[in-house]
Amino acid sequence: MPASSNRSLLVGLVRAASVAVALGLPFVGNPQPATADWAALGALPDWSGVWVPDVAVQRRKERNELPPWAPAAKAQIDVLFAEDSAGRPKLLLDHCLPHGMPSWMLITHNAMEILVTPGRVTLLGEGDGNRLRRIYTDGRAHPEDPDLTIHGHSIGHWQGDTLVVDTVGIIPQSYIALSEAVGIPNNGHLHIAERIRLSAPDTLIDELTITAPQVLAEPWTTTRLWVRRRGDLYDIVEGQCVQGDLVEAVDEHGNAIFEHAPPADGGRVPLDR
């Protein structure tokens, strides 16, 4: 089947799901894929391999492409920049939770890989233990009242070779961060629209439009780049952040276990672990 036919088929399947909803039929997510659904993936752009963030671009934009902060947020950000420059960085991410959205896309130093399967695009990140985004492309809508999560609820669809993603349901504590020392919690009602596509054979561009009415005066559109690397040198390395706060030990039975690291001050475990 020619590629264009496959793409039409894929679009048709998504439309069928939408039509089913429009007709009042119950939409059931995660439908069982048919052979044609797997075959249709071959018409989509190839996003295999390992994607390494372009940190140089991140660092350039950290100072030169600032979000349209609301005044109260801007005042806080100015202090954070000054503190970081003075060698007193605020440790935004010292809790070992995932960076969350949108910070993962904006500031991570770690690679990711992308799995495209029928009805889903899955981003698997390196680090944090559970750095993972599920983008549903099976035609579903957002839940009416989603449970709030660090990465939010994402739905997407393909527009030609561009994956268009819409994300809501993100916890208010998730940072809009420019670096690991400069950022502010979104404080609620965050919405992120993304357009992800190849801008060159081995370059992925993510254009994000971030709407955060509690901290941004207006929606902020920015881009970040990811560069493809192949070869096993770039395999994703499992990275469990909290493992760094534990130490290997042996219990009374001789079992290999983890223990909490000894407190730095000889007293209780530090609050920031």
Partner 1 sequence: MKPQHIVIAALIATSSVAVAPAGAHHSTSMYDRSAPITIEAEVVEFRWVNPHSYLTVVEATVAGATPKTWSIEMSSPGVLTRSGWSKRTFNPGDKITLTFGPLRNGDLGGIFLQATLADGKIMTYSVELPTE
Which residues are at the interface with partner 1 (CB under 8 A)? 52, 54-56, 84-85, 87-96, 99, 109-111, 126-128, 179-181, 227, 233-234, 236-237, 239-241, 243-247, 261-266, 270, 272-273
CA nearest 168: which of 220, 122, 210, 218?
A: 210
Q: How distant, in Å, are the alpha carbons of 47, 72, 133, 155, 192 from that of 199? A: 12, 36, 22, 22, 20
86 CB-contact burial (10 Å; exposed 0-12 / middle 13-18 / buried 19+): exposed
Q: Which is nearer to partner 1, 28 or 264 (CB)?
A: 264
- Minimum separation from the CB atom of position 144 to partner 1 (A): 34
Q: Which is nearer to partner 1, 12 or 263 (CB)?
A: 263
- Minimum separation from the CB atom of position 116 to partner 1 (A): 22
3-class SS of residue 168? strand
Q: Which is nearer to partner 1, 72 or 249 (CB)?
A: 249
Q: Which is nearer to partner 1, 68 or 270 (CB)?
A: 270
Q: Which is nearer to partner 1, 102 or 156 (CB)?
A: 102
Residue 171 identity? I
- On whether the CB atoms of residues 239 and 110 are closer than 8 A, the answer is yes
- Minimum separation from the CB atom of position 45 to partner 1 (A): 21
3-class SS of residue 91? coil
How long, in residues, is the chain?
273
Residue 196 identity? I
Q: Which is nearer to partner 1, 55 or 164 (CB)?
A: 55
Alpha carbons within 13 A on the beta-carbon side of 112: 24
- Minimum separation from the CB atom of position 241 to partner 1 (A): 5
- Minimum separation from the CB atom of position 83 to partner 1 (A): 8
Rounded Cα–Cα distance for residues 206 and 193 (Å): 10
Q: Which is nearer to partner 1, 20 or 198 (CB)?
A: 198
E strands, 152-241, are 153-159, 162-168, 175-177, 183-185, 191-200, 203-211, 220-229
Helix (H) or strand (E) holding 19: helix 3-22
Q: Which is nearer to partner 1, 27 or 81 (CB)?
A: 81
- Minimum separation from the CB atom of position 256 to partner 1 (A): 15
3-class SS of residue 143? coil
- Minimum separation from the CB atom of position 99 to partner 1 (A): 7
Rounded Cα–Cα distance for residues 178 and 78 (Å): 12
- Minimum separation from the CB atom of position 87 to partner 1 (A): 4
